[in-house]
Amino acid sequence: MKTNKRRLSLLTVGICLSLTLALPVGAHHGSTELSNNTITDVVGAVAGNGDYNTAVGVAGVIGNNIIFGDLVPVDEYNNGHMGYGSRAEGGTSNRAIGYGAWAVGTKNTAMGASSQALGFENTAVGFESYASGGGKIGSVAIGAHSIATEPDTVSVGQPGYERRIMNVAPGINGTDAVNMNQLRVVDDKVDRVGASAAAFSALAPLAYDPKEPTQYSAGIGTYNGTAAFAVGVYHYTQPDVMLNAAIGISNDGWEKQARVGISWRTGGSKAKEIAPAVEPKESIEDRVKRILEENKTE
């Protein structure tokens, strides 16, 4: 029991000493002041006129501000900045972190030396990054020297200082970004379709022949290094009506196409009858041979 009482006495003395050090009458060189929900530390620090301010080497105004820096004022509510020459002002809920970082407006975030997030709900991350949203909302600049000046955009560079975005997963939803693998699949598909179209264009029917109304055709086409093969059939149901069908396939077998069609001729005049094919005239030698053969049989 005596030991416990001794420990309690030492604890009480320690707390009293701590309060004595932490709660002086005024903030002086290297001192700490805690009063009215305000914490002030370091030379020349003034945490502000309102409640819930935290100031380390700066001057803050109103309330609910968190400030680390050197004699840079903060106004309104819920703003915070850290770094020499940084600013978080003009509205509420601004955050500026880094040497000369500015977050001016409402709900802006600037992280990085000389970064700036201006306007409403804009974010700039990286050295000399800048996000303003064109005076509107929602722009994001990521990386050193990145600039986002249009609303609802994400920038990872600027003209002449572009960047690639790596390790992007394949897009699934309609608003997802696509990666190069997905883009190459589309590019290959276009090549196969182009080759098939070239092969189909090589198919052509011959003129109508009443003795042979059905015809066949084949063609090969290529586009951007991809080849395709096509075959087709044509059939005249009458001199002025033709049915046709064809199929095509690319050389890798991935892209298949087919077509079916009908062609007919219209006009006010009646269709002219097709004259039968004229047999070639018999030569004199053939005629003599034929007469001799006929005489032998008689």
- Whether residues 223 and 238 fall in one domain: yes
Give domain status of residue 1, yes or no: no
Give domain status of residue 276, yes or no: no
- Whether residues 260 and 207 fall in one domain: yes
User: φ and ψ at 220, to 5 degrees?
Assistant: -125, 140
The domain spanning residue 204 has which CATH number?
Answer: 3.30.1300.30
Model pLDDT, residue 7 = 47
What Å distances lie between residue 164 and 105, 143, 200, 201, CA to CA? Answer: 31, 12, 40, 41
Give domain status of residue 3, yes or no: no
Number of domains in the chain: 3
- Domain of 29, in residue numbers: 21-75
- Whether residues 125 and 196 fall in one domain: no
Q: In what side-by-side order are the strands of the sheet with 123-125?
A: 32-35, 38-41, 53-56, 66-68, 80-82, 95-97, 109-111, 123-125, 140-142, 154-155
Model pLDDT, residue 215 = 95
Give domain status of residue 2, yes or no: no
Structure tokens at 153: 């955009």
- Whether residues 262 and 189 fall in one domain: yes
- Whether residues 234 and 258 fall in one domain: yes
- Whether residues 186 and 148 fall in one domain: no
**Amino acid making up residue 143:** G
- Whether residues 186 and 233 fall in one domain: yes
- Whether residues 64 and 89 fall in one domain: no
Tens digits of pLDDT across the chain (298 residues)? 545 545 444 444 344 434 333 334 444 344 344 444 444 444 444 444 444 444 444 444 445 555 555 545 555 578 899 999 999 998 899 999 999 999 999 999 999 999 999 999 999 999 999 999 887 788 999 999 999 999 999 999 999 999 999 999 999 999 999 999 999 999 999 999 999 999 999 999 999 999 999 999 999 999 998 999 999 999 999 999 999 999 999 988 778 899 999 999 887 555 556 555 555 667 787 777 777 787 776 6
The half-sphere exposure of 205 on its side-chain side, counting CA atoms within 13 A, is 21
